[in-house]
Structure 1
Amino acid sequence: MSAIQITSEIKPLKKVLLHRPGNELLNLTPSNLENLLFDDIPYLAAAQKEHDLFADIFRQKGIEVVYLENLMAEVLDMSEEIKKRFLEQYLFEARIYTKEYKKAVFDFLMRIPDNKELVLKTMEGINLNELNGSVFNSLENHIKNHDKLIIDPMPNLYFTRDATAAIGRGICINSMYSVTRKRETVYSEYIFNHHPDFKENVKQYYKRTDPFHIEGGDITNLNEHIIAVGVSERTCADAVEALARNLFADNDSAIDTVLAFTIPAKRAFMHLDTVFTQVDTDIFVVHPGILRTLEVFELKAASGGGVNIKQVQGSLERILASYLKLDAVSLIHCGAGNKIAAEREQWNDGSNTLCIAPGEVIVYERNNITNELLDARGIKLHPILSSELSRGRGGPRCMSMPLVRSKGV
């Protein structure tokens, strides 16, 4: 099995990367919600139960589940040098610059004997009063509230799609839109650079240090030759063009066409996959609110490493049918076209489905109107509970990063 093999959104899923929500959710408070990109505080115990049921669906279908925290711990187990380098980078990106604080936090983390526990602690965030009474004579230490978080948690980590996205046999380690989420990709960088399952086996088509922001929820593999990328609140046009150049420059990449989908830069829409996902060969779910303003642009390789760009005219159905070489494509409207239902269910990720095989998808149970439409079209549904998971504004696709899908349907 290849380390990465993703040429479709619908071919049978074989291996997927998840992160089980952890104590990082316990460090969400009303005062830091907005900064950490949450609208409410999930109840951790219930969120974990919901996530475990989500993971169980994969296992019941024979899909291998690997966890971000386990892969990262395995990387740290490889050498003390990698562990120390990771912690130094982690502290720098957490903006711990004061010499005394940097040493105190570094020593605190190094004392954690189990590397998985260490990884989970870096995700959870650190409160000043956890530093075992480390006191030093600095003005900063005298002034600080010792109940204050000195390193913020990373509560968005259970949306593993955003930090890293697979394309063909390669990956994008994404340059995240928000400063709050930039640290999430440190784990991806270490895993794909050092873990024996991925090191030297996986091309990197985008790096977390690249200047233009892009997130995995905007990247959709339409087939082995075409990807769609949303130009959205979280992904800028320059990033789409840079990604296209990198793909076209790689002789091992089969991608010859990038379709840029412009969607409104609104938090409610956020990524392409919050308004548009594929559920079968010729069936897509779409939020009707994007159809009036959606523009599509084709990017193809030009001589000298350049990119030819042209706008593609026509309805979304016709564009998709043309590029996928299908007679016709159906769009299922989230909320059955009812404006209120569409807005409500899209807010709770009614359009954010995860296809685990052609015509077989994982969905949030709460989006009953959209789910009834899918069922009526013969789509096999695996509904999951989401009263807590949905508070993070992400659905089944957001919570999963497919690593391997079958070559054939």
Structure 2
Amino acid sequence: MSNVIETCVHSEIGEIEGVILHTPGSEVENMTPGNAERALYSDILNLSVAEQEYKQLSEVLSKITNTFQVKDLLTEILEIPEVKEDLVTRICKVEQVKTIKSSLLSLDPEKLATQIIEGVPLNKNTLTGFLSDERNALRPLHNFFFTRDASMTMYDEVLIGKMANKVRERESKVMEAIFNHSSKVMGKTVNPMSDKHMRDEITIEGGDFLVAREDILLIGTGVRTTTQGIDFIIKKIKKAKGKHNIVVQQLPSKPESFIHLDMVFTLLDRDKCMVYDPIIMQPNKYQTILISIDNGKVQKIEKQNNLVECLRDLGMPLEPVYCGGRKDIWIQEREQWHSGANFFAVGPGKVIGYARNVYTLEEMNNNGFEIISASDVIADKVNLSDYEKYVIAISGSELARGGGGARCMTMPIRRRKVEW
């Protein structure tokens, strides 16, 4: 493979060849209980603990594949004068902070990348500034360590997220600029904001977007991805030749642990998936809808019994593995809340998840997955090639409180194709 990694993701489980990460920094702590909800948090994380836990994820992935940090990629493209000017101009215009544009442009690329991510302190040298309750002229990107949402690899292209909350819009601008200008990762970007028929109702986030197979996309719709956003994706898929299926899963608006599809369903192997039973398997009011597309035309849109049955009927039979085990609904609820259904596959049958969800891991073990501690992988105490199926268990006592798991914190840019 050349030094430039080109985007190519045709499944959720293909062997990983490149992934983008963002190590959480001071932006995670730069909030108070009063504004945590605006930052999309229900609590304030302990950064020192979160950093150590994230380090496990990063070091494990570095043992397995090519990893890239958002800040490094951003710093690189900010060396290009016209990219720097354009990105800063667009950020300042959209976030209505034109008064800091010149000071941002005066910074060197590394310092500018830091301020774009961690925020710019508000200058208190005016009465308005002095009396303001705000701490920052440019708000920190509190959620950027969930790199999954702002961009998503869709086959050979990169779909730029249209975020549901304004506090995250800058993340999408950064990721689009990276893919358009980086010398390390490259992919043709598709941005809903650039469409002449763009509507305010369109929102799309990567946690709701799963590439199941070359001909099957799974998309959740709820508080983060709207039906209008899915219609945008349908419009894009209709331009491709052949048959494609989009399976849409409605999600509850509450509690907040259901914000994305990957919080209740992820793919583990060619024949196994992780499910949160009450939403995915049990009869409920949240519909599963199949949209069949053939050579540019929607052939049918129809309700299905559930997501797993729909995939089976599409020739993708999957055995469900149950988040929290099968015995106790309370345990299922507790472990789902802490991202117990949220796994990131590094290959078929080879995944990463939180160690804290012990009942889920027990269920995984009962389904043939060896449980391996992240610390053993990092210390080279185990040879991963010795195992056909495994779960690498990373610490997550603090990270999970941010509202996401291993899949949320990883943006894959390239996977090997899977032999089905």
TM over 0.5: yes
Equivalent residue in structure 1 for 2:234, among 241, 244, 247: 244
Is 1:123 matched up with 2:113? no
Q: CA deviation at 1:206?
A: 4.1
| SS of structure 1 residue aligned to 2:258 | coil
Equivalent residue in structure 1 for 2:348, among 353, 358, 361: 358
Q: Distance between the aligned counterparts of 1:176 and 1:124, measured in 2?
A: 19
Q: Distance between the aligned counterparts of 1:404 and 1:142, measured in 2?
A: 48
Task: Give 1:7's aligned residue.
Answer: 10
> For 1:186-215, what per-residue CA distance to the aligned partner results, in whole angstroms no more than 9, with x for missing partners?
10121122224456x525264477430110
Q: CA deviation at 1:361?
A: 0.9
Is 1:329 matched up with 2:332? no
Q: 1:76 to 1:57 in 2, by over 3 A?
A: same
- Equivalent residues in 2 for 1:66-215 (5 A)? 66-78=68-80, 80-96=81-97, 102-103=98-99, 105-113=100-108, 115-129=109-123, 135=125, 140-141=128-129, 143-144=131-132, 148-197=135-184, 201-204=187-190, 206-207=192-193, 210-211=198-199, 212-215=202-205
Task: Give 1:277's aligned residue.
Answer: 266
- Equivalent residues in 2 for 1:26-65 (5 A)? 26-61=29-64, 63-65=65-67
> For 1:209-249, what per-residue CA distance to the aligned partner results, in whole angstroms no more than 9, with x for missing partners?
74301100011111111111111221111211210111221
Task: Give 1:222's aligned residue.
Answer: 212
Q: 1:162 to 1:295 in 2, by over 3 A?
A: same
User: What amino acid is aligned across from residue 112 of structure 1 in structure 2?
Assistant: L
Q: Distance between the aligned counterparts of 1:106 and 1:241, measured in 2?
A: 36
Question: Greater share of helix residues, 1 or 2?
Answer: 1
Equivalent residue in structure 2 for 1:268, among 257, 264, 267: 257
Q: CA deviation at 1:318?
A: 2.4
Q: Distance between the aligned counterparts of 1:164 and 1:333, measured in 2?
A: 28
Equivalent residue in structure 2 for 1:317, among 289, 295, 308: 308
| SS of structure 1 residue aligned to 2:78 | helix
User: What amino acid is aligned across from residue 263 of structure 2 in structure 1?
Assistant: T
Task: Give 1:259's aligned residue.
Answer: 247
Equivalent residue in structure 2 for 1:391, among 396, 401, 405: 401
| 8 Å CA contact retained: 2:251, 2:261 | yes
| 8 Å CA contact retained: 1:214, 1:235 | yes
Q: Distance between the aligned counterparts of 1:28 and 1:83, measured in 2?
A: 27
Normalising by structure 2, what TM-score? 0.86
Q: CA deviation at 1:317?
A: 3.1
Normalising by structure 1, what TM-score? 0.88
| SS of structure 1 residue aligned to 2:225 | coil
| 8 Å CA contact retained: 1:10, 1:279 | yes
Task: Give 2:358's aligned residue.
Answer: 368
> For 1:145-178, what per-residue CA distance to the aligned partner results, in whole angstroms no more than 9, with x for missing partners?
6x73222211100000011111110111011111
Q: Distance between the aligned counterparts of 1:148 and 1:373, measured in 2?
A: 46
Q: Give the number of aligned pairs.
A: 387
User: What amino acid is aligned across from residue 153 of structure 1 in structure 2?
Assistant: P
Q: Distance between the aligned counterparts of 2:289 and 2:191, measured in 1?
A: 20
Q: 1:373 to 1:302 in 2, by over 3 A?
A: closer
Task: Give 1:401's aligned residue.
Answer: 411
Equivalent residue in structure 1 for 2:291, among 296, 299, 314: 299
| SS of structure 1 residue aligned to 2:19 | strand
| SS of structure 1 residue aligned to 2:152 | strand
Quick one: percent identity of the two aligned structures? 29
User: What amino acid is aligned across from residue 141 of structure 2 in structure 1?
Assistant: M
Task: Give 2:385's aligned residue.
Answer: none
Q: Distance between the aligned counterparts of 1:255 and 1:18, measured in 2?
A: 33
Q: Distance between the aligned counterparts of 2:214 and 2:191, measured in 1?
A: 15
Task: Give 1:99's aligned residue.
Answer: none
Q: CA deviation at 1:300?
A: 2.9
| 8 Å CA contact retained: 1:170, 1:205 | no
User: What amino acid is aligned across from residue 320 of structure 2 in structure 1?
Assistant: L
Q: CA deviation at 1:58?
A: 1.1
Task: Give 1:288's aligned residue.
Answer: 277
Q: Distance between the aligned counterparts of 1:38 and 1:277, measured in 2?
A: 23
Q: Distance between the aligned counterparts of 1:10 and 1:260, measured in 2?
A: 19
| SS of structure 1 residue aligned to 2:405 | coil
| 8 Å CA contact retained: 2:266, 2:343 | yes
Q: CA deviation at 1:55?
A: 1.0
Aligned CA RMSD, in angstroms, stands at 2.2
Q: Distance between the aligned counterparts of 1:250 and 1:315, measured in 2?
A: 27
| 8 Å CA contact retained: 1:217, 1:272 | yes
| 8 Å CA contact retained: 1:10, 1:355 | yes
